[in-house]
Chain A
Amino acid sequence: MEGHPLALISSPSRRRGELGFAAVLLAVAGLCFVTAGDYPGASGTYPRVLSVLLGCGAIVVLARAWRQNGDNGRVPLMANPGRCLLGFAAMALYVIGIDLLGYILPSFALVVLLPLLLGYRDLRLTVLAALGGIGFILLVFAVILERPMPSDLFDPLLEMLR
């Protein structure tokens, strides 16, 4: 995969990751503490205590990461940030796809296209895996258990199956 455009994105260091995540936790703790102020009586006290605990924990991690300036400064957070981004982007597109087009088509596209993007060329296997997986899910969820599926392009077809 050398020379692949995705490989050019560089990962933030682990130390930065620690600092960033702890900062986010601290912010969440603050937000939870303030929001809990509106809740009456014990309904509010309990989450407030938890927020303080979370805040304390976050501060400890922050302080620790701040002091450790050695090796962690160079260790990357992700092994391959480009593909990691690709993974999350694929997941996001998949979910949006289900929302717009239903379950079947985006699922097929995901199983066939994602391996292709990752350099896997055995289309026979991926198409087979996609059809097998989708067929199995439809059989169990839609036909046997009659669980509702997301509204789908192929709804008329699905109704015939039931």
Chain B
Amino acid sequence: MIDALLSALPHVLAPANLFAVLLGTVAGLLVGALPGLTVTTGLAVLIPLTFGMDPLFALGMMAGMYNGGSYGGAIPAILLRVPGTPASVATLLDGYEMTKQGKAAYALQVAVVSGVIGSALSAVALIVFAPSLVKVSLMFGPAEYFWVALLGLATVASLLGDDFVKGLIAAVIGLLIGTMGTDLATGTERYTFGRLEFADGLDIVVLLTALFAVPPVIRMIETASHQGMSKDLLKLRKEGSVLRDWRRYLPVWSRSSVIGIIIGILPGAGGSMSCYLAYNDAKRRSPNPESFGKGNPEGVAASECGNGADNAASLIPALSLGIPGSGVAAVILGGLLVHGLRPGPQLFSDHPDVVYGFMLQMLLSAGLLMLVGGLAATRIFGQALRLPHVVLAPLILLFVAIGVYAVNNAMFDLYLLLGIGVFAYVMDQLDYPSAPIILGVILGPIAESQLSLALTISGGNPLALVSSPMSMIIVALTLFILCVPLWGMWKGRRSAA
């Protein structure tokens, strides 16, 4: 392996291929930061263009786009409360609060450094463990996925906010929205109101932007402030360097990276789940969990680090088995195929130069992100915040509108945005938290369909759900996550009494 890495290195460092990674990273930042555009879209446009190119040039652009895109989503989430992807919701919880407190530059810095550390560790895991980690991902069948989804849903406990009942209502609303559309197992169309547009359920991007972006825009219009954010607040140096505070973030980074890598290698679990799990973990371990959701930079660090760690890890089953761990990995797989690189165990022996070159490029793009990401985010995107709020509000609507339209190229989604936006505003005014809705929408359908699969396979025997050691481990983890806050509350009450 070392030989392969060394022989791949000159190709990776060739100027043209370096440029490809840089180009990909910048493009990824852009598509990630604009709502409605995703890395998948960017890659889909890119792949046919790479037909005649050197494989490492094409793969370099893909690696850059993957890492750049996953951080790009954090920029509008932190600055404007417009989450580009479900993954940025956990970032937004503390990131936007920090922006409101005038710490936007610091929040962005935390996000980029944490994302880079997660991506880099993940790339290292990809290089070192790719063949052996595959065995772990194969231990997950429908029963195990069902429990993983429940584990994710259990983290809702950390998102509920101050009002327990309202948080639960929000989660149930999310689960109900998740039932919309065609039921995989029976083909029954649920809550589609006879509209084709609902046959696949409510689109997550439309829901995200309506829930998170519309309320602050309306509030900006309500306050009608003619001022923007002051220039001083956007200065990078003001809050000091994140790297100098490494001692504070190290525990968060290491645990979030491990979580992200593990979730990444599970096909179908996806980046957003690792963010929620990492966020939950950081909050649970923190000496003052009540500061989360109110502008604690560790929340941003956990979420972005988990998000970044998901990237390269999701390529592990993709490269070694041909099973993509995420939607983006699936598209990258398509890109590999076009260049005659067939995934599977033999890929590593047949094309070591290209495979290890690609892995190094994943690592390289993580490094480049640190340079480009920090600069671009504060210098360019940050400037938007200096606009007076009365001008910024309609500008945000411009981007939200085209983004929501671009998801399905349908006007229907824009009217939907309007409808859900009103609902979201009222909910927000009444202090119902929005994050549990998203969690429910993402994980509810996974839990339901995997449960039904597991029961179909076992012939309806519920004991099959806990028959494997892996299932039992995840059940124990879920119970642990649910019980620790309860136990803490009980203990707190006793010591108070």
Contact = CB atoms under 8 A, between A and B. Distances in A.
A and B touch in the complex (CB under 8 A): yes
Chain A: number of interface residues, binned into ranges: 35 or more
Contacts of B172: 50, 53-54, 57
B390 A133 contact: no
A61 B37 contact: no
A54 B418 contact: no
A115 interface: yes
A39 B188 contact: yes
A60 interface: yes
A160 interface: no
A98 B45 contact: no
Interface string B391-402: 101110111011
A120 interface: yes
A115 B394 contact: yes
A114 B221 contact: yes
Interface string A32-52: 100110011111001100110
A35 B217 CA distance: 34
B30 interface: yes
Contact of A32 (B166, B169, B191, B395): B191
A147 B42 CA distance: 10
Interface string B169-189: 100110110010001011010
A150 B411 contact: yes
B190 A43 contact: yes
Given A21-B427, A87-B217, A133 B190 contact: no
Contacts of B345: none
Contacts of B179: 46-47, 50
Contacts of A64: 165
Given A36-B190, A53-B172, A126 B166 contact: no
A64 B430 CA distance: 13
Interface string A49-79: 0110110011011001000000000000111
Given A18-B430, A83-B222, A137-B399, A148 B409 contact: yes
Nearest to B455: A42
Contacts of A105: none
Nearest to B395: A133
A84 B222 contact: yes
B442 to A, nearest CB: 15
A145 interface: yes
A158 interface: no
Nearest to A1: B224
A125 interface: yes
A111 B185 contact: no
A86 B395 CA distance: 16
Contacts of B391: 111, 115, 120, 125-126, 129
Interface string A97-127: 0110001000100110011001110100110
A134 B394 CA distance: 12
A146 interface: yes
B218 A84 contact: yes
A92 interface: yes
B45 A115 contact: no
Interface string B201-239: 000000000000010011101111010000000000000
Contacts of B388: 115, 120, 122, 125
A80 interface: yes
B448 A46 contact: yes
B34 interface: yes
B406 A25 contact: no
B185 A86 contact: no
A94 B226 contact: no
Nearest to A107: B398
A78 to B, nearest CB: 7
B421 A91 contact: yes
A103 B31 CA distance: 20
Contact of B417 (A95, A114, A125): A95
A21 B430 contact: yes
A83 to B, nearest CB: 5
Contacts of B387: 125, 129
B493 to A, nearest CB: 21
Interface in B19-41: 30-31, 34, 37, 41
B221 A118 contact: yes
Interface in A118-162: 118-120, 122, 125-126, 129-130, 133-134, 137, 140-141, 145-150
B415 interface: yes
Given A111-B391, A134-B398, A83 B176 contact: no
Given A17-B430, A115-B390, A41 B186 contact: yes
A84 B405 contact: no
A80 B222 contact: yes
A118 B390 CA distance: 7
Contact of B395 (A84, A129, A148): A129
Given A39-B188, A107-B401, A145-B37, A57 B224 contact: no
A-B complex: 4 closest residue pairs judged by Cβ atoms? A87-B221, A57-B169, A115-B390, A118-B224
9 contacts: A25-B169, A43-B188, A60-B165, A86-B221, A91-B214, A94-B401, A111-B395, A140-B30, A145-B31
Interface of B: 30-31, 34, 37, 41-42, 45, 165-166, 168-169, 172-173, 175-176, 179, 183, 185-186, 188, 190-191, 214, 217-219, 221-224, 226, 387-388, 390-391, 393-395, 397-399, 401-402, 405-406, 409, 411, 414-415, 417-418, 421-422, 425-427, 429-430, 448, 452
Given A17-B430, A57-B172, A118-B224, 16 more contacts: A1-B224, A21-B427, A40-B188, A41-B186, A50-B172, A51-B176, A88-B218, A88-B421, A99-B411, A103-B402, A107-B398, A115-B390, A115-B391, A137-B399, A140-B30, A148-B409
